[in-house]
């Protein structure tokens, strides 16, 4: 098991996804694993930068990998799915395409940075928890009994495609296994990797809205009371628009949308505020029922 990791927060974790950062740091602290934020990291570029300029998009992302290398690390943790994908893709494409490699190389050289784009490995916390820390260790550190209903695990897109290191290509199960080790009941549903629309909720709102509506509806239909996710944009999309969905679709959907780090952190004894559980927009009634300060004590095993 590794002693610690350098981690790449990405832009979302400092604003709409701040609860992800809070719960990630809390969870890893409870597991005695150090996390160090990468110094002077820059935006990964996500999907938008690539739409305008491909070579620079890889170079932009490669700067982060170079900084990781400079800090003496060969791995970096990227919790945001989009950041994870961009960094991982950079690592891959720089090796496969000489034209991309050349551009990245010259940009890094001009910036006096090492060409480490292909030697730094990008990892996602879900897979780090599963592979490095392990299900058994998590089980052994559980100090609270789950007080809530069954949940569905929603993996989204970019962490699980097109690279299959975070989980297998179809019928993903690692999040379920981790939650199971923490005593959290899960139900399966067919939409666990159906796209939430990403930035479409901001641009073509009706389309984005419906993509989230169908996920919420199917989760509810399968008996889930909440959704657990691993991407800040998915969490935001599923969380921020439920009142509008209730109005438009005339359906009574009101589900908390958690990060897997939040629910695992709670099972391991983390406090509701330090896990960012107070930042929920939807499903707040259930959040209060399952996670109050009183519950923090009462649920102790």
Partner 1 sequence: MQIERKMKQQREAHPGWASEIAQLPGCEKLFSCIQCGTCSGTCPLSIYMDYTPRRIINLVREGFQEEALASQTIWLCASCYSCAARCPQKIQLTDVMYSLKREAIKKKLFPKRFPIPVLASEFHKMVAKRGRSSEMWLVMRMALKSNPMILLTMMGTGWQLFRTGRMSLRMEKIDRVHELPHKSVGATEVH
Partner 2 sequence: MSNQNGSVRIGVYICHCGTNIAGTVDVKSVAERAARLPGVVVSREYKYMCSDPGQELIRSDVQEHKINRVVVASCSPLLHEHTFRKAAEKSGLNPYLTHMVNIREHDSWVHVGQKEEATRKADDLIRAAVRRIRYHKPLEKGYVKIQADVLVVGGGIAGIHAALTLANAGKHVYLVERDPTIGGHMAKFDKTFPTLDCAACILTPKMTAVKAHPNITLWTLSEVTAVEGYVGNYEVTVTRHPRYINEELCAGCMQCVEACVYKQARFDDEFNEGLGKRKPVYIPFPQAIPQVVLIDPEACIEFKKGTCKKTCVEACGDRHAIDFQQKDEVKKIKVGTVVLSTGFQAVDPKKVPYYGYGTYPNVYSSMEVERLINASGPTGGEVVLRDGSHPKSVGIIHCVGSRDEYTNKWCSRVCCMYSLKLAHLIKEHTGAEIFNFYIDMRTPGKGFEEFYQRLLQEGVHFIRGKVAEVTDWALDKSEEGKLVLRVEDTLSAFVRRIPVDMVVLSVGLEPHADAQEVRRLFNISCGGEGFFTERHPKLAPVSTFTDGVFLAGCCQGPKDIPDTVAQAGAAASEALALIDAGQIEIEPNTAYVVEEACSGCQTCIGLCPYHAITRLEDKKKATVNPVLCKGCGTCVAACPSGSLRQNLFEDEQIFEEIEGVLDYAR
- Decide if residue 93 touches partner 1 (CB under 8 A): yes
Residue 189 interaction partner, one of partner 2, partner 1, none, beta carbon < 5-8 Å per kind: partner 2
Give residues with Cβ within 8 angstroms of 3, minimum separation 6.
33, 34
Burial profile 243-277: b = 16 or more Cβ within 10 angstroms, e = fewer: eebeeeeeeebbbbbbbbbbbbbbbbbbebebbbb
Exactly one of 142, 187, 281, 286 binds partner 1 (CB under 8 A); which one? 281
Q: Which is nearer to partner 1, 147 or 193 (CB)?
A: 193
Residues 115-154: x/- map of binding to partner 1 (CB under 8 A)?
----------------------------------------
Residues that bind partner 2 (CB under 8 A): 169-171, 189-191, 214, 218, 221
Residue 54 interaction partner, one of partner 2, partner 1, none, beta carbon < 5-8 Å per kind: partner 1
Give residues with Cβ within 8 angstroms of 119, minimum separation 6.
69, 74
Residue 279 interaction partner, one of partner 2, partner 1, none, beta carbon < 5-8 Å per kind: partner 1
Please give the distance of CA 210 from its chain centroid, rounded to a whole number. 22
Exactly one of 5, 7, 8, 17 binds partner 1 (CB under 8 A); which one? 17
Residues in 158-217 at the binding interface with partner 1, rule: CB under 8 A: 158, 161-162, 169, 193-195, 197-200, 202-205, 207, 211
Closest distance to partner 2 from the beta carbon of 186 (Å): 16
Closest distance to partner 2 from the beta carbon of 170 (Å): 4
- Decide if residue 249 touches partner 1 (CB under 8 A): no
Sequential DSSP letters for 125-191: HHHHIIIII-HHHHHHT--B---S--EEEE--STTTSS--SSS-SSS--HHHHHHHHTT--EE--TT
- Decide if residue 63 touches partner 1 (CB under 8 A): yes
Sign for the CA dihedral angle at 77, 59, 42, 113 comes to positive
Cα separation, 162 vs 262, whole angstroms: 26
Cβ(115)–Cβ(81) under 8 Å? no
What is the binding site for partner 1 (CB under 8 A)? 11-12, 14-19, 40-43, 45-56, 59-60, 63, 93, 96-97, 99-100, 107, 111-113, 157-158, 161-162, 169, 193-195, 197-200, 202-205, 207, 211, 240-241, 243-244, 278-281
């Amino acid at each position: 098991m590794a002693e610690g990791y350098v981690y790449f927060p990405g832009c979302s974790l400092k604003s709409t996804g701040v609860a992800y950062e809070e719960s990630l740091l809390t969870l890893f602290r409870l597991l005695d694993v150090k996390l160090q934020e990468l110094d002077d990291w820059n935006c990964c570029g996500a999907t938008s930068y690539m739409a305008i300029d491909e070579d620079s998009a890889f170079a932009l992302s490669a700067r982060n990998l170079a900084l990781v290398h400079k800090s003496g690390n060969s791995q970096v943790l990227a919790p945001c799915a989009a950041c994870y994908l961009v960094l991982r893709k950079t690592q891959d494409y720089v090796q496969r395409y000489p034209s991309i490699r050349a551009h990245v190389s010259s940009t890094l050289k001009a910036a006096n940075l090492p060409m480490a784009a292909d030697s730094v490995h990008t990892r996602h916390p879900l897979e780090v928890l599963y592979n490095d820390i392990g299900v058994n260790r998590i089980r052994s550190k559980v100090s609270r009994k789950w007080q809530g209903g069954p949940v569905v695990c929603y993996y989204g897109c970019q962490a699980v495609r097109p690279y299959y290191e975070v989980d297998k290509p179809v019928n993903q199960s690692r999040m379920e296994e981790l939650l199971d080790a923490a005593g959290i009941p899960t139900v399966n549903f067919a939409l666990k990797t159906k796209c939430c629309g990403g930035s479409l909720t901001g641009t073509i709102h009706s389309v984005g809205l419906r993509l989230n509506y169908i996920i919420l509806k199917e989760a509810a239909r399968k008996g889930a009371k909440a959704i657990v996710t691993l991407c800040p944009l998915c969490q935001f999309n599923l969380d921020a628009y439920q009142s509008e969905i209730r109005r438009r679709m005339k359906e009574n959907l009101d589900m908390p949308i958690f990060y897997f780090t939040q629910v695992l952190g709670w099972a391991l004894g983390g406090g509701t505020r330090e896990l960012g559980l107070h930042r929920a927009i939807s499903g707040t009634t259930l959040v209060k029922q399952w996670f109050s300060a009183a519950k923090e004590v009462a649920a102790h095993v």
